[in-house]
């Protein structure tokens, strides 16, 4: 049986610092691939606020160190899950990190939107655009060409 409900809203966040982009991997689930922060928008939640909230929850960075640079666009992403075909409406945002951080660190997301029990460990790290930019899981790199990092724009849409 095919689902016909409207897609859930999610935010996908590109956090940049100079010519670097913040990415992460699930330490306990490497098959999930390299990702950028993303998550579900709460009922009635403002999209801009959802982007900042998800960025903080998944990275451990402070809201005071993140500047919202703008919405880059949106798409509808189709995929298969345990219940069959599904889709989400993804809203892509650019945030600039203005603080200082190590080149890589571990962070534990304490409130995962997928109802996973316990915290999820993420290994976060900065990559230089475009030389070190990995292919992002779930086609999360689809809006990189709109990012205001000159070297990422030179990359084109996705490798």
In a domain, 126, yes or no: yes
Residue pLDDT, tens place only, 65-92 = 999 999 999 999 888 877 788 899 999 9
Phi then psi for residue 18, to 5 deg, are 65, -125
Burial class of residue 59, CB neighbours in 10 A (0-12, 13-18, 19+): buried
What is the pLDDT averaged over residues 130-134? Answer: 89
Instruction: Please state, in angstroms and as integers, the Cα–Cα distance from residue 146 to each residue in 17, 68, 91, 151, 157, following that order.
Output: 15, 15, 13, 11, 8
Contact status, residue 129 vs residue 155, Cβ threshold 8 Å: yes
Look at the chain and report how many structural domains it folds into.
1
Rounded Cα distance, 138 and 88, in Å = 11
Question: Which residue segment(s) compose the domain that 54 sits in?
Answer: 8-155
What is the pLDDT averaged over residues 112-132? Answer: 82
Task: State yes or no: pLDDT of 39 exceeds 80.
Answer: yes
Rounded Cα distance, 63 and 81, in Å = 32
Instruction: Give the CATH number of the domain where residue 65 resides.
Output: 3.90.79.10
In a domain, 53, yes or no: yes
In a domain, 3, yes or no: no
**In which band, very low, low, confident or very high, does the pLDDT at 130 lie, cut at 50, 70 and 90?**
confident
In a domain, 91, yes or no: yes
Q: What is the pLDDT of residue 157?
A: 39
**In which band, very low, low, confident or very high, does the pLDDT at 148 lie, cut at 50, 70 and 90?**
low
In a domain, 59, yes or no: yes
Helix (H, G, I), strand (E, B) or coil at 53: helix
């Amino acid at each position: 049986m095919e689902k016909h409900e409207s897609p859930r809203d999610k935010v996908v966040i590109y956090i940049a610092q100079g010519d670097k982009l913040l990415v992460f991997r699930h330490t306990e689930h490497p098959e999930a691939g390299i990702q950028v922060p993303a998550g579900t928008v709460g009922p009635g939640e403002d999209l801009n606020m959802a982007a900042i909230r998800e960025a903080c929850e998944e990275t451990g960075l402070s809201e005071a160190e993140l500047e919202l640079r703008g919405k880059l666009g949106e798409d509808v992403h189709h995929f298969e899950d345990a219940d069959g075909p599904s889709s989400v409406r993804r809203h892509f945002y650019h945030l600039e990190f203005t603080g200082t951080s190590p080149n890589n660190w571990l962070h534990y997301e304490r409130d995962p939107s997928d109802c996973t029990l316990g915290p999820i460990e993420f290994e976060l790290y900065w990559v230089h655009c475009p030389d070190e930019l990995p292919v992002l899981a779930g086609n999360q790199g689809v809006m990189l060409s709109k990012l205001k990092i000159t070297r990422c724009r030179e990359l084109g849409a996705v490798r």
